[in-house]
Amino acid sequence: MIRIKYLLSLLLWLAIASLPANKAKAQLQETPNGIWRLAYTQEEGKINIPVKDYTLWDFEGDTLNLVTVGDPDMGTFDSLTIQRFGVRYEHNEMQFDDQVFSVSSTEDSLVLQNQSISFIFKRLDLKASTPSKTASACLKGSYLIRGKNYQDSLEFLNDSLLIHTGEFHSNNPVKKWAVVTYKGIHFLSIQNIFFPLTAITSCSEQQVVLNHLAKNVDWILSPTKSTRQKSELIGSWTATPTYPLPPGTDTAKPFHQIAFEQDSVRIQRFKKVQKLKWNLTEDGKRIYFMDKILKKGGSWKIIECTDQHLTLDLNNSWLFDDNILKFKRN
């Protein structure tokens, strides 16, 4: 069992954003029942901003449940780990796992102090509006994500894989995902140590609302579709060289060529040939190959597509030396 002292030191580096410090030293009026999240830590007036936070603190009378959604360090994302500790309150002190903390609280803030370090928690007051199966079912297709100082796009390919189609995560766009439920709150858990823990607070065909727990701000996911169709890519395309060709290369023969059919694509680089099943994201931003979706070169980003020209970011495909190639229709 992880010792609380070690866990608290770990939590020192755990969130993505901070809230202004609450300087009020209110005494503990009653047992802090409910679910809390670590907002920030403070030591000698300095606010420390953690890197990530997947652990919630759930107080139930004289019991503390440490609830961790997934474990990015171990590569898991669809699990729920609960550690239980007995808690004893005496005056303005809280004792658990042989540790003693001075404690104070307001309606929405909880402060635990151990020596010179203060751990400031904010109450998590979320109520999911749909059961988990419905929440999972509505996460289908492409979405635009909009939030405070953040905008991105992604597509849920199926009930376990998603692909980022925007400007972020371009090197490793495909991630595994799951909906993990605790006490009626549905968390969107993504296998990505840089993606924050979010809770699904609303889910419908019109939009999905995610609460970014660390910042306590909402992200709005709006369904989106593109007018670009697979039929626009069908045909043979030849790349324009962007670097000197090897000595003896027959320049009369295409050295980089892609031939799209309705469901398959033939990829040729010199004598190397590969044939794959392909598809297009609903927002028209990425070509992906489901047979190798989690491997290198499992998707390509479309930078430009006209009737005669196609520019692709090939995401380090093993068949090509350059990430970005420009093709011309044959």
222 vs 98, residue with greater confidence: 222
Determine the residue type at 61. G
pLDDT at 49: 65
The string of pLDDT tens digits covering residues 84-141 is 999 998 888 999 888 889 998 887 889 999 888 899 898 887 765 566 556 677 899 9
Query: Has residue 307 got a pLDDT over 90?
Result: yes
Give 169's pLDDT tier (boundaries 50, 70, 90): confident
Q: Is 167 exposed, middle or buried (0-12, 13-18, 19+ CB in 10 A)?
A: exposed
- Please determine, for residue 147, whether its predicted confidence score (pLDDT) is greater than 70: yes
How confident is the model at residue 18, as a pLDDT?
Answer: 33
Backbone angles phi and psi of 8, in degrees to 5: -65, -40
Q: Where are the domains of the chain?
A: 4-123, 132-223, 230-329
The mean pLDDT value for 228-237 works out to 95
In this predicted structure, what is the pLDDT of residue 52?
Answer: 66
CA 307-311-314 angle, 5° bins:
135
Q: Tell me the residue type at 284.
A: G
The per-residue pLDDT of the chain, averaged, comes to: 81
**Cβ partners under 8 Å of residue 24, min gap 6:** 106
Does 13 score more than 90 pLDDT?
no
One fold for 4-123 and 230-329? yes
CATH code reported for the domain at 4-123: 2.40.128.280
Per-residue HEC secondary structure of the chain comes to: CCCHHHHHHHHCCCCCCCCCCCCCCCECCCCCCEEEEEEEEEECCEEECCCCCCEEEEEECCEEEEEEEEEHHHCEEEEEEEEEEECEEECCEEEECCEEEEEEECCCEEEEEECCEEEEEEECCCCCCCCHHHHHHHCCEEEEEEECCEEEEEEECCCCEEEECCCCCCCCCEEEEEEEEECCEEEEEECCCCCCCEEEEEECCCCEEEEECCCCEEEEEEECCCCCCHHHCCEEEEECCCCCCCCCCCCCCCCEEEEECCCEEEEEECCEEEEEECEECCCCCEEECHHHCCCCCCEEEEEEECCCEEEEECCCCCCCCCCEEEEEEC
- Which residue did the predictor score with more confidence, 214 or 158? 158
pLDDT of residue 278: 97
Residue 230 backbone dihedrals phi, psi, to 5 degrees: -60, -30
Cβ(53)–Cβ(121) below 8 Å: no
pLDDT band at 17 (very low <50, low <70, confident <90, very high): very low
| For residue 251, pLDDT beyond 60 | no
pLDDT for residue 29:
53
Instruction: Inform me whether the pLDDT recorded for 8 exceeds 50.
Output: no
CATH architecture designation of domain 230-329: Beta Barrel (2.40)
Dump pLDDT digits (tens) for 19-78: 333 333 445 556 788 999 888 888 877 887 665 678 899 999 999 999 999 876 677 788
Residue 234 has pLDDT above 90, yes or no: yes
Q: Which percentage of the chain shows pLDDT scores above 90? A: 41
Task: Express each pLDDT in 278-293 by its tens digit.
Answer: 999 999 999 999 999 9
Highest mean pLDDT among 190-204, 233-247, 256-270: 256-270
Instruction: Give the whole-angstrom CA distance, residue 257 versus residue 320.
Output: 11
Residues 6+ apart with CB under 8 A from 26: 104, 105, 106
pLDDT beyond 70 at 314: yes
Question: In the prediction, which pLDDT does 212 show?
Answer: 85
Residue 214: the pLDDT is 77
Residue 10 pLDDT level (bands cut at 50, 70, 90):
very low
